Chains A and B, each alone.
Chain A
Amino acid sequence: MSNVETKKKVVKYKKYQQGDVVMFQVDDESFEKNIDMYGNNSNEQTVHYNTQSHNNPILAFGEATGHIHQVRMKDMLDKAEITLHMPRFRKAGTDTPQGFEVREETVTLTHEEHDPIDIPPGKYLVRIVREFDHIAGRSRYVAD
C-alpha cells in the first residue's frame, strides 16, 4: 500500500492500470466518499454481474477503435462477482463507471491492445487518464 500524506488525511490506495484506464483500490470510506462526490447516493446506480450474467462489465469503450476494457465473466471462477457504480444518466456497457467492487475471486480485465491484468477483490475507483491539448489550451480525457 502506498501512503500519501495530505493536509487533511492519509489516503491509501493501490493503483492498477490498463492503457488509459486507471483503477485505484481504496478503502471503504474513500470509496463511498468519491462515489458520492457528484451528489447523493440516489444519483448513482449499481449494476451487478456474476459468471451467469449475459453481459460483461465494461470499464471503458473506445468509440473510434471499438476496443473494450472488460471482464469476461464466463471465463472467471464461479464465485466471482462485480458491481459497477455508474454515475447519474450514464449507461453500463458504454460509459465509464465511477467505481466498481470485485467480490470473492480475482477477476481479469482484458483489452484488444493491452495484456490482461488481474484485479483482486476490493473496491476501486476508475479514472480515464487525461492529456493536455496545448494548441487548444485545455485538458481532456484521452479518447481512443
Chain B
Amino acid sequence: MSLTNNSNREGQAREYRSKYLENSKVEWLIEHGKIRENVYFKGETGDRYTIYVATKRNKNVVDFHTIFNAYDHGTAVGDHIATIKDYVLTMYGKPNRYWRSAVGETVKQLMRQGVCPKDHLKHWKIRFCRSAFFMRLYDGTEFTPWIGMKLDLQTGTLLNKPNRQSVLNYRKAKESDKHSRKMNRIANKNNTEALTRYHKADGNFALLPIDDVFKHRNVEYRTDIINFHGLEKILKTLETKIEDEDTIDGRFYRLINVNIPDLASGQERHQWGLYLEMINPSTGESHFEGVANAKGTPSVGGWRSGGELESATVKAALSWRDGDGMIQTGQTWNAISSNANYVPPVKMT
C-alpha cells in the first residue's frame, strides 16, 4: 500500500495508529485524509492485476474502486465496489458479475487488506464453499455477502438483513456442502471396508463379496476381483439391456448396456456402460470387453477419457475397439468411431 501524495502525508499515514480498523492507512484516510486523497493495494496472489483504490470522497465518506492492470490489455477502470461512511461498510457492484469478481470476492479482498475490525475478538471470516461465499462474523452470524450489505467496522456486526437471493444462494451451497460431505463419508467407509476385506483375504479372492469391485477406488484391486470372479459373473448380477446384435463375416457380436452401481462415489447412483460380447473365432469362447459409451450418454463420474461412439451399434463399437478412426484420420484416441468408418478385417483368427 502507498500514498499518492507527498512524502510528509505518507509519513503521517504510516505513523498513524488505528483505533477501529486493522488497516491503519484506511483509517487515517477516513480520519485525516483530504478530499481525493487515496490509498491502494493489489489483489492477492493469482489476482495481481486488480488494484483496489480507496479514495476520500468527502469529510466522512471513503469509496473503494477497482482498476484492472493487465500486462496485455493495459489499464482499465473497474467498478465501484464499496463505500465506508461513518465506519459503516456498504458493498456495491454489479449483480451479474462472475463469482470470482462478485461481491463475496471483493469483501474477501478488502478483509485481506485489513478493512475489518481491529479487535481480534470481532474478526470476520470468509470462505468460498461449493457455490457461494460464506461470511461468518464473531457473533456466529453466517451468510452469503450480497450487494447492499452493511457492516459496522467498529462493532463488527451486520446492520441489515440478507436479501432473498443471498439467502437462497447460502441455503443451496449449504445443502450441497452437506450432501457432498455425506457422499465422501460413505465412499470413504466403503473403500476402507473393502480394503480391509482385501488385505484380510490375503489373495484368496473367494472370500470377497462380488460388489467389492465397485467399492474399491484403486483400479488394481478391482482388476484382481474381476479376474477372479470373471466379468460375466459380475455382469449377471446387474441390470442389462441389449443395444445391438450383428453378425459380421459369420461372427456373432452383441452390444450390451450394463447398469453399473457407482458405489465408490458414495451415492446411490448408477451409470450405464457398454460392453461388447464376442466369440473368439479360434477357440469359440465367449467374452466381454468394455467399449466407450455412445454420444450423449450421461456420465456420472465426471470427465471420462477415450472418446465415444457415434451410436450404440456393434460396428461403431468394433471401429472404436480396433482404432479405425485413428488410422483413417491420424487423430488420437478421441477419433470418431461410427458404423461408416468400420472396416471389417479381410482375415481374422
Contacts and interface: CB of A to CB of B under 8 A. Distances in A.
A62 interface: no
B214 interface: yes
A134 interface: yes
Interface in B309-349: 320-324, 326-330, 333, 340-341, 343-349
Interface in A104-124: 111, 113-118
A15 B219 CA distance: 32
Interface residues of A, number: 40
B346 A16 contact: yes
A116 B348 CA distance: 9
Interface size class of B (residues with CB under 8 A): 35 or more
- Residue among B299, B302, B305 with the most chain A CB within 10 A? B305
A88 to B, nearest CB: 17
B301 A137 contact: yes
A37 B347 CA distance: 26
A133 B281 contact: no
A65 interface: no
Given A132-B306, A133-B290, A16 B347 contact: yes
A135 B217 CA distance: 9
Interface stretch (A18-26, A51-59, A77-85, A89-97): A18-26
A23 B23 CA distance: 71
Given A114-B349, A129-B323, 15 more contacts: A4-B343, A11-B329, A22-B323, A24-B327, A34-B330, A115-B349, A117-B348, A130-B323, A132-B274, A134-B273, A135-B213, A135-B214, A135-B260, A136-B219, A137-B304
A-B residue pairs, 9 tightest by C-beta: A139-B306, A134-B273, A115-B349, A132-B290, A17-B345, A15-B345, A17-B348, A114-B282, A131-B289
25 contacts: A4-B341, A8-B329, A11-B329, A13-B343, A16-B346, A16-B347, A16-B348, A17-B348, A18-B349, A22-B323, A116-B349, A117-B347, A117-B349, A127-B323, A127-B327, A130-B306, A132-B292, A132-B306, A135-B213, A135-B222, A135-B260, A137-B305, A138-B305, A138-B306, A139-B306
